[in-house]
Structure 1
Amino acid sequence: MALNKDQQQLIDWYNQGYGRIALRHGLSEPLMQQWLQEQGYYGSEQGSALAERMLGEFQAEQIGYEIGCLGAIQASVLLLLLTDHDKDQDQTAELINTVAFDVIFNIR
């Protein structure tokens, strides 16, 4: 199945160096694999090795993006806690950090 116009735009952004924008708008590993397949990277042993390397680079960028999102969530929580008069006596920060981590990394 060929990529639609929106999916191709995500790939184009990624290839032009705008990986974070592409990730923010929905670029995913399955979509990247589909694009690599359509480009013929999996047609030979050498091409497959290159595709796997490219996919590994994408995964690393995706992890960096997710960690960046987690940092922003944690910073927001800390700002909220600094304005809290109780100063987190009931360990709310730890609970929120745990939930934020679970949300970012899809842990159930």
Structure 2
Amino acid sequence: MKAKKGAVSTRRKKGLVLSLLNMRYHEEDVYLVLEIKNKSGIDFKIDYLDVYCVNGNNRRKASYQRLKQEVLYKYQMPNIIVDKHSERFVYVCQNLYLEIMKDL
């Protein structure tokens, strides 16, 4: 099976580019492969990075839901992104569907 080229989702802000490159499910966990590119002109120190699961349409507030995901493990998470460089790392989160079913 060939992997798709390019990012699943990308966000840009002030010279920083955060991309979700891949998302894999394994048993109860979700593995998120992320990449941060720094094009800001200065070194960037990462304080924290939160993961949210969003359901619905943010234009229609009645159906919009933003749930913070607990990060179980961080693999090769960088502390500093040097200017004109990029770093890839993996976040492991619990599967959202299993969390919802547990509450019922």
TM-score by length of 2: 0.27
More strand by share: 2
Bigger relative contact order, structure 1 or 2, given CA contacts below 8 A and separation 6+?
Answer: 2
TM-score by length of 1: 0.26
More helix by share: 1
